[in-house]
Amino acid sequence: MTEGVGIWALLLMAALATYLWRGLGVALSTRVQAGSALFQWVNCVSYAMLAGLVARMALLPIGSLTEVPLVDRVGAMTLAFVVFFVTRRSILPGVLAGVISLIIVTSIRAG
Amino acid sequence: MTPRDVAIRACRDALRIPSLVLISGFIGFGSLAHESGLDLSLALISTVIVWSQPGQVAFAELSAAGATALAIVLAVSLANARFLPMAVSLMPLLRPGLKRKAWLYLYAQLLSVNSWAGCQRAFPQLPSESHHIYFVVFAAVCMTGGVIGTLLGYFATGALPRPVALGLVFITPVYFAMLFAGNRARPVVVALLAGAVTGPILFTVSPDWGVLATGLLAGTGAWWFTRDSA
């Protein structure tokens, strides 16, 4: 268990290690023209990373969502997508459908 | 549109769904921080200086589990590798109208998935000289939401019924999924699908390197196969 000054030093290192990517991105961006082939490639890499991260958060969560069975998470996410496309791509109804269905199923399982 | 109009619009857009998503998402982080024995001040400051929910969750969990400093910093950093391509693909859009380009290094700290995606949505309807104003206002509202969420979560630990607390944590992945599913450009759709399939597989292979490898493999593949349609 890390305590006292140690945890603050650790947080600072974690923050710097995160900023490294942000700062490097700004530095590299000066050589990238909006709309160029390089720009398109970086855009694809960003979207792929974010989609990978979201899929990971839903399918293989870390933290409290591990308490929810996989089938419930996938079911709630599927319902969210169905509502999203049925409502002609409106975000709010999709999100509400996913979250509320997860809460209901989790409550039922808890008895 | 005057700069003032752009700022008001950014504020209004951010106050809709993004700020609610951030508050609820960071309620999850705030309560995890409390359960992990972190100070409130540390939790709040981490939201401002790390400003990445997955990275902060990894930090709280690994430090509570007594992982080594190197392992924690490496895990947090690699979980946040997405900021590199996100910054590269957003900053060129913020440059017009910005007098001192050094500001971009400060703007980079405000960058998050919410502000990145919010800008991608709004920029086509805004004059390019005003992009940087929209970004700063939108991202600042988002960060404020994150700080409020952290604070609420820290004190609400245990007060919320468990299913509701879990629902709040689930908002982030569902919201991002809906936000990205609204894209219609073919390279983006292919990159999203490829990333969603590849991400969990590579995460199983390596929790540390999975995100980075997913972006490079799935993103490059998507770009390569859709080059002509862009």
Nearest residue of A to residue B86 by CA position? A46
Q: Has residue B126 got a pLDDT over 80? A: yes
Is the CB of B91 less than 8 angstroms away from the CB of A25?
Answer: yes
The tokens of A86 are what?
A: 């049925």
What Cα–Cα distance (Å) separates residue A89 from each residue in A94, B177, B178?
8, 11, 8
Q: Has residue B87 got a pLDDT over 50? A: yes
Q: Has residue B159 got a pLDDT over 90? A: no
Is the CB of B214 less than 8 angstroms away from the CB of A48?
Answer: yes
Cα separation, B198 vs A103, whole angstroms:
28
Which ipTM value was assigned to this complex? 0.91
Is the CB of B88 less than 8 angstroms away from the CB of A25?
Answer: yes
Cα separation, A101 vs A71, whole angstroms:
12
User: Which chain B residues are Cβ-neighbours of A102 within 8 angstroms?
Assistant: 163, 166-167, 170
The tokens of B172 are what?
A: 């982030």
Q: Has residue B230 got a pLDDT over 60? A: no
- CB contacts < 8 Å between A and B, how many? 305
Q: What is the pTM of this model?
A: 0.91
Residue B158 pLDDT = 79
- pLDDT band of B129, cuts 50, 70, 90: very high
**Is the CB of residue A52 less than 8 Å away from at least one CB of chain B?**
yes
> What proportions of chain A, in percent to the nearest 5, are helix, strand and coil?
80, 0, 20
The tokens of B2 are what?
A: 């005057």
Helices (H) and strands (E) in chain A, counts: 4, 0
With CA atoms as reference, report the closest residue to B73 among A12, A3, A24, A60.
A12
Q: Has residue B13 got a pLDDT over 50? A: yes
The tokens of B37 are what?
A: 């024995």
With CA atoms as reference, report the closest residue to A52 among B207, B90, B58.
B207
Burial class (CB in 10 A: 0-12, 13-18, 19+), A12: middle
DSSP-assigned letters across all residues of B103-134: HHHHHHHH--HHHHHHHHHHGGGS-GGGHHHH
Is the CB of B80 less than 8 angstroms away from the CB of A21?
Answer: yes
Test the A interface: residue of B56, B62, B76, B89 with most A CBs within 10 Å:
B89
User: Is the separation of the CB atoms in B62 and B75 below 8 Å?
Assistant: yes
Q: What is the 3-state secondary structure (H, E, C) of B6-41?
A: HHHHHHHHHHCHHHHHHHHHHHHHHHHHHHCCCCHH
Is the CB of B83 less than 8 angstroms away from the CB of A81?
Answer: no
- Which amino acid makes up residue B60? A
Of B52, B167, B219, the CB nearest to A44: B219
User: Which chain A residues are Cβ-neighbours of B72 within 8 angstroms?
Assistant: 10, 14
Residue B229 pLDDT = 60
Q: What is the dihedral sign for C-alpha A49, A52, A58, A64?
A: negative
Question: Which helix (H) or strand (E) is A66 found in, with range?
Answer: none
Residue A36 pLDDT = 92
The tokens of A106 are what?
A: 């989790």
Is the CB of B69 less than 8 angstroms away from the CB of A2?
Answer: yes
The residue behind tokens 């490829």 is B194
Of A19, A39, A56, the CB nearest to B89: A39
- Mean pLDDT for A51-59 is 94
- pLDDT band of A1, cuts 50, 70, 90: very low
* Mean pLDDT, chain B, whole residue set: 93
